[in-house]
């Protein structure tokens, strides 16, 4: 990257700036054509499941059954609203990024300093930068006075990096975010120390942060697997239902001669076989699942993430702010003699007082730098008098050839004597103190050991100066080496246990960080992640996709990783068949969060961009919440399978009872009102029982669910057919018994309907658990089950006792022996299915691993 010379020492003229603004555009991300609300609604209306709901409502309206039509259309409207809200929220990601990249800027134009909107900065502008400023655009430093910049939004790392002027920098230095001694400052980064003047070299989409925004704009989120599978299922049901409807029309018209009645019968049978309740139940499960997960302080932004949680095989986690607290703290004080003090160990020993006090005096009095802040926090705990009333009178900043900071303080008790405090790179402090070879060797060994533990090590020295005649450089003071300060971004307390839980659940935890390898490995060891298998960004850059895929199989720590490499890692894992969850909090994480099957952003410290790009947000930034979300995700999917299997099972007797009278010339039992009642009221209400089921005992001891395993597996379809055929056989038997008693049509309809509904209730008990018996399942609390039993019993009772409802259903009175017959048929369903359920238990309850040995 090269930069042109400034057009003049006075910066650009207003005319030049206006011309460039017109030619190159504003300093912001390009605004793509956002989808309008109307456009989103049109996309939603094209969904097959929603089309079925709306189509069913229209059909019932045409038939004049307004109550049933209203039920269907209300569910359809609810589905539209939920989907439109979710889609509209995802549109805000680029808006959040655009706001972040447009701070105010102080520029030099026509020789005068003026503050302008960040979006009006143009290439060639001279930016005046000071401590606390947000950099408005990528720029090359023309002047740099002890500058340190926080680039964590771009690199994910909390430590600030040093910056130098262009004339001091060599051409061989890599010019990209992260790393010390670069002459480039980047848009969106924060000045934590120093001041300078920089010439803008890239704005808007051409800046580093702009490139991330462009990548987000072109990426597509992972489509919901359940939605895809359900679409296919709906199409199959639609074809089967359509075929049966035509068959019924032909048979009825041919055998009975009433073609208008034949068309109505065909519509009734078709509606009995169309799965109107599938989208309703899916919506209920996703909404309730999102609510349940929110109780664990986890916000679900996309329903697809709920279904994916149960099949996650790899969790890619950022280090800073995710595994760690994203807050530098002093982890260790060490004297040259080898004595150490760890702040959490207790009170500060007297031997370490001078070391901590001197480190505090070498820090900025009102710090932005996170290391200086850490020193101030520790001093507040152990040094009540702080700087002892001294006043700062002189300072020496970092130099490229001497990486140390020195500050001179006047002692109020001895105005003729000055205290000189220095901190910086240990080798620089050792040079200033003139340590001998033996001490240098020991110091080097100690620093290496501390760095291997993931610590950022500073040397601290102190000197006394008798007058205000300051030497030209820091080397002119007679320093005494006091010791070392080790700083670290501490690991979150809950992380090791959460990583262990992931391992038990068969999920491989991978750490991806922009930090140095030694620091990354130290944090990984503390978290319980295998720290031996590591790779750096430079090594990844040398690998092609095939070689990278091979290394990914065994690598768990990725260090010095650039944002585009994070995305490449996620994409490679996905290509290898892994279901990828990715955590992060910075702008640099946004593309990989969006690309992952499950993007998990930190809600407290995370940027708006990361949150908007993710599918899940941890509201309390607690890594352990991920494990809770995975547990709930597996439970939700298990219960969804139970509910869908139940619905599939009940469709068999409904369709059979609709066809049976037509084939044998018997009275028509089920009309549109009965089918609407069964499918749009009883089925969803009963399915809520499954949603409230507690997790199976082995939910976190299984391997991740195979993502390619269909929701409606062969085993589930077979089990549903067995249940449905048994119910149909017994209810048909009740129907035949009623026929043999010469019961009136209205009483026969009520008898059959009661037997059918009570059998459905027994199916709920059978399907509450695939892995245990009904007796074990009854010991698990489920308050919704009692509520459903009361609702179903109440509706059945009202259908007999309330004349208006009895007339609507065309029911006749039932007697005690009739009710006993229906209850007996339902009890037989329960007993038979419980006896044969163990034959299906292994295939229904067990979840095979993604691949052998995974």
Write the pLDDT tens digit of every residue in 135-187: 989 999 998 888 888 887 677 666 788 888 888 876 655 667 877 888 999 98
Highest mean pLDDT among 280-289, 644-653, 701-710: 644-653
Which one has a higher pLDDT value, 449 or 275?
Answer: 449
For 203, residues 6+ apart whose C-beta sits below 8 A from its C-beta are: 24, 25, 26, 27, 121, 122, 123, 137, 138, 187, 210
Q: What are phi and psi of 560, to 5 degrees?
A: 55, 50
Report pLDDT for 98: 44
Domain 105-213 fold: 2.70.150
- Give me the mean pLDDT over the 593-615 stretch: 72
Spatial distance between the Cα atoms of 484 and 61, rounded to a whole number of angstroms: 81
Confidence of residue 852 (pLDDT cuts 50, 70, 90): very low
Structure tokens at 762: 């027994």
Neighbours of 86 (CB within 10 A): 18
Report pLDDT for 461: 97
Domain with CATH 1.20.1110.10 in the chain: 644-844
Q: Is the pLDDT of residue 458 over 90?
A: yes
What's the pTM value of the predicted model, to 2 decimals? 0.67
**Virtual CA dihedral for 601, 605, 610, 612, nearest 10 degrees?**
80
CA atoms within 13 A on the CB side of 397: 12
Structure tokens at 805: 């409802």
Report pLDDT for 71: 57
Nearest alpha-carbon partner for 154 in 452, 585, 576, 696: 585
Report pLDDT for 140: 92
Confidence of residue 607 (pLDDT cuts 50, 70, 90): low
The highest-level CATH class for domain 298-325+492-621 is: alpha beta
Which one has a higher pLDDT value, 614 or 339?
Answer: 339
List, as one string, the DSSP characters of 9-68: TT-B-HHHHHHHHHHH--SS-----PPPHHHHHHHHHT-HHHHHHHHHHHHHHHHT-HHH
Which one has a higher pLDDT value, 494 or 698?
Answer: 494
Report pLDDT for 93: 41
Report pLDDT for 122: 94
- Give me the mean pLDDT over the 247-257 stretch: 74
Spatial distance between the Cα atoms of 600 and 557, rounded to a whole number of angstroms: 19
Spatial distance between the Cα atoms of 361 and 355, rounded to a whole number of angstroms: 10
Neighbours of 563 (CB within 10 A): 27
Domain 329-488 matching CATH 3.40.50.300: the answer reads no
Structure tokens at 189: 């980064």
Report pLDDT for 491: 86
Confidence of residue 664 (pLDDT cuts 50, 70, 90): confident
Domain with CATH 3.40.1110.10 in the chain: 329-488
Report pLDDT for 107: 92
Least confidently predicted of 495-504, 562-571, 586-595: 586-595
Confidence of residue 538 (pLDDT cuts 50, 70, 90): confident
Least confidently predicted of 44-58, 151-165, 531-545: 44-58
The highest-level CATH class for domain 644-844 is: mainly alpha
Per-residue pLDDT tens for 753-777?
999 999 999 998 888 877 777 777 7
Report pLDDT for 847: 39
Q: Is the pLDDT of residue 582 over 50?
A: yes
- Give the bridge partners for 458, in sequence order: 485
Confidence of residue 385 (pLDDT cuts 50, 70, 90): confident
Least confidently predicted of 360-369, 385-394, 840-849: 840-849
């Amino acid at each position: 990257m090269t930069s042109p010379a400034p057009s003049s020492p006075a910066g650009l003229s207003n005319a030049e700036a206006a011309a460039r603004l017109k030619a190159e555009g504003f300093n912001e991300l390009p605004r793509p054509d956002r989808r309008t609300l109307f456009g989103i609604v049109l996309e939603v209306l094209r969904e097959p499941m929603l089309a079925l709901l709306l189509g069913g409502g229209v059909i019932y309206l045409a038939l004049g059954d307004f109550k049933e039509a209203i039920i269907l259309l209300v569910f359809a409207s609810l589905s539209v609203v939920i989907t439109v809200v979710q889609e509209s929220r995802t549109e805000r990601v680029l808006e959040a990024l655009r706001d972040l990249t447009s701070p105010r800027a102080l520029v030099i134009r026509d020789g005068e300093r003026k503050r302008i909107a960040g979006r009006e900065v143009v290439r060639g502008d001279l930016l005046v930068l000071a401590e606390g400023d947000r950099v408005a655009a990528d720029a090359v430093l023309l002047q740099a006075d002890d500058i340190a910049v926080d680039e964590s939004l771009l690199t994910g790392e909390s430590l600030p990096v040093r910056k130098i002027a262009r004339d001091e920098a060599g051409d061989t230095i890599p010019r990209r975010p992260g790393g010390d001694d670069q002459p480039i400052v980047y848009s969106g980064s924060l000045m934590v120390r120093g001041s300078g003047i920089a010439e803008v070299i890239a704005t808007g989409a051409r800046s580093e942060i702009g490139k991330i925004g462009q990548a987000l704009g072109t990426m597509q989120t992972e489509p919901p697997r359940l939605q895809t599978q359900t679409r296919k299922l709906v199409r199959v049901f639609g074809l089967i239902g359509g075929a049966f409807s035509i068959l019924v029309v032909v048979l009825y018209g041919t055998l009975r001669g009433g073609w208008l009645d034949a068309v109505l019968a065909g519509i009734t049978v078709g509606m009995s076989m169309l799965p109107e309740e599938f989208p309703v139940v899916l919506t209920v499960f996703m909404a309730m699942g999102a609510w349940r997960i929110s109780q664990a302080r986890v916000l679900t932004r996309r329903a697809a993430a709920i279904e994916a949680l149960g099949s996650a095989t790899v969790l890619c986690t950022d280090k800073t702010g995710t595994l760690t607290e994203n807050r530098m703290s002093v982890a260790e004080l060490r004297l040259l003699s080898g004595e150490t003090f760890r702040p959490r160990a207790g009170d500060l020993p007297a031997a370490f007082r001078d070391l901590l006090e001197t480190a505090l005096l070498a820090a900025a009095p009102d710090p932005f730098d996170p290391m200086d802040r850490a020193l101030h926090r520790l001093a507040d705990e152990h040094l009540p008098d702080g700087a002892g009333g001294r006043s700062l009178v002189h300072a020496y900043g970092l130099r490229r050839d001497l990486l140390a900071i020195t500050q001179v303080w006047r002692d109020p008790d001895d105005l003729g004597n000055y205290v000189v405090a220095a901190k910086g790179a240990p080798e620089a402090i050792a040079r200033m103190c003139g340590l001998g070879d033996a001490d240098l060797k020991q110091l080097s060994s100690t620093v290496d050991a501390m760095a291997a533990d993931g610590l950022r090590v500073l040397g601290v020295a102190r000197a006394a100066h008798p007058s205000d005649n300051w030497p030209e450089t820091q080397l002119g003071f007679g320093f005494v080496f006091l010791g070392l300060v080790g700083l670290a971004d501490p690991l979150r307390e809950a992380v090791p246990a959460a990583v262990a839980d992931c391992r038990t659940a068969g999920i491989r935890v991978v750490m991806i960080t922009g930090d140095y390898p030694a620091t990354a490995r130290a944090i990984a060891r503390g978290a319980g992640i295998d720290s031996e298998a590591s790779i750096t960004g430079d090594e990844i850059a040398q690998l092609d996709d095939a070689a990278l895929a091979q290394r990914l199989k065994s690598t768990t720590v990725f260090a010095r990783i650039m944002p585009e490499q994070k995305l490449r890692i996620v994409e490679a894992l996905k290509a290898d068949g892994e279901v990828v969850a990715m955590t992060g909090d910075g702008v640099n994480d946004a593309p990989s969060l969006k690309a992952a099957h499950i993007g998990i952003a930190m809600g407290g410290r995370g940027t708006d961009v990361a949150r908007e790009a993710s599918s899940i947000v941890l509201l309390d930034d607690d890594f352990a919440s991920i494990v809770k979300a995975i547990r709930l995700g597996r439970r939700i999917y298990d219960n969804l399978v139970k509910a869908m299997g139940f619905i599939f099972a009940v469709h068999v007797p409904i369709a059979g009872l609709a066809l049976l009278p037509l084939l044998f010339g018997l009275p028509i039992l089920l009309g549109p009102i009965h089918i609407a009642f069964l499918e749009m009221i009883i089925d969803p209400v009963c399915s809520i029982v499954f949603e409230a089921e507690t997790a199976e005992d082995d939910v976190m001891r299984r391997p991740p669910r195979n993502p390619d395993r269909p929701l409606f597996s062969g085993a589930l379809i077979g089990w549903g057919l067995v249940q449905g055929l048994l119910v149909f056989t017994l209810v048909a038997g009740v129907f035949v018994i009623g026929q043999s008693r010469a019961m009136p049509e209205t009483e026969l309809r009520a008898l059959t309907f009661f037997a059918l509904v009570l059998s459905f209730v027994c199916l709920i008990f059978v399907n509450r658990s695939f892995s245990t018996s009904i007796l074990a399942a009854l010991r698990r609390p489920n308050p919704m089950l009692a509520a459903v039993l009361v609702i179903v019993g109440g509706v059945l009772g009202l259908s007999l006792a309330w004349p208006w409802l009895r007339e609507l259903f065309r029911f006749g009175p039932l007697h005690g022996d009739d009710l006993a017959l229906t209850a007996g048929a339902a009890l037989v369903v329960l007993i038979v299915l419980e006896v044969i359920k163990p034959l299906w238990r292994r295939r229904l309850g067990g979840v095979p691993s993604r691949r052998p040995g995974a």
